[in-house]
Amino acid sequence: MWLGYLGDYSGIFYAAAIGLMIFSIIIQARLNSLVKKYSDVPVASGKDANTCVREMLQANEVTGVTIDYVAGSMTDNYNPKKDTINLSDTTYGKNSITAVAVAAHECGHACQAHSNMITYKIRQLIAPVASITSRFSVWIAIIGVVIMSSAKSYEMSDLGYNISTIGIILYSIVVIFYLVTLPIERNASRRGLKAMKEFGWVSDDQYIAAKKVLWAAGDTYAIALASSALTLFRLLLMRNSRKR
């Protein structure tokens, strides 16, 4: 396919893409197996996820946050607009290591939102913009490349180049979003793990298990960042290989 033509750096791109694909399969499989493994093991304290969240919120002097149920498995999230921690089938009212770790992580996000964490605020500002540009920026860049490829004049080629550049700039917002998200996710896990240890919800061995689960979950954000950066690289190669 002619859109696949990426100029001199084709080899680097395809090698990176294949490497990333293999990595992401390994990381996802590892996460699934860890989640499953520790979903059947109750925490030493016997406390369920909801109780742990309430305890963590209280200790951090965070008020006004509600805990709600959300359908599905591993669909847990913190909704900053509603100030609600949504816990899924495998978490809500459950006392497994996975349930408590996931709930503590989401509670970490609630604590971030209620603190003056500047990167969290930046992420909240970028999120709606990135969600819009992620839908069409790649297409703008590709349309620009198509115009460049079929251009009969230098003016037309320049127009295509500029359109493509606009698409690339808009897509950069998506990459920046993932770049900001990764440390925020790690931070939420660190907050959750700190609470797990401090409040004695888990034994020492269980703490290590919880850490493995949360870190593996965080790795999926690293993959998302790497693949968005790779897409950006691809768009740049597509545009530059047709420059004349």
**Which residues would be at the binding site for Zn ion (CB under 5 A)?**
185, 188
Question: Which residue lies nearer to Zn ion by CB, 151 or 182?
Answer: 182
State which amino acid sits at residue 198: E
What is the strand order of the sheet 66-69 is part of? 66-69, 84-87, 77-79
Question: Which residue lies nearer to Zn ion by CB, 98 or 164?
Answer: 98
In angstroms, give the least distance from the CB of 20 to Zn ion. 21
In angstroms, give the least distance from the CB of 188 to Zn ion. 5
C-alpha atoms less than 13 angstroms from C-alpha of 50 in its C-beta half-sphere? 12
Whole-number Å distance between alpha carbons of 143 and 140: 5
Question: Which residue lies nearer to Zn ion by CB, 188 or 236?
Answer: 188
For residues 87 and 69, the answer to whether their CB atoms sit within 8 Å is yes
Question: Which residue lies nearer to Zn ion by CB, 185 or 219?
Answer: 185
Question: Which residue lies nearer to Zn ion by CB, 191 or 242?
Answer: 191
Whole-number Å distance between alpha carbons of 92 and 100: 9
For residues 174 and 133, the answer to whether their CB atoms sit within 8 Å is yes
In angstroms, give the least distance from the CB of 30 to Zn ion. 18
In angstroms, give the least distance from the CB of 105 to Zn ion. 6
In angstroms, give the least distance from the CB of 206 to Zn ion. 20
Q: Which residues pair with 149 in a beta bridge?
A: none
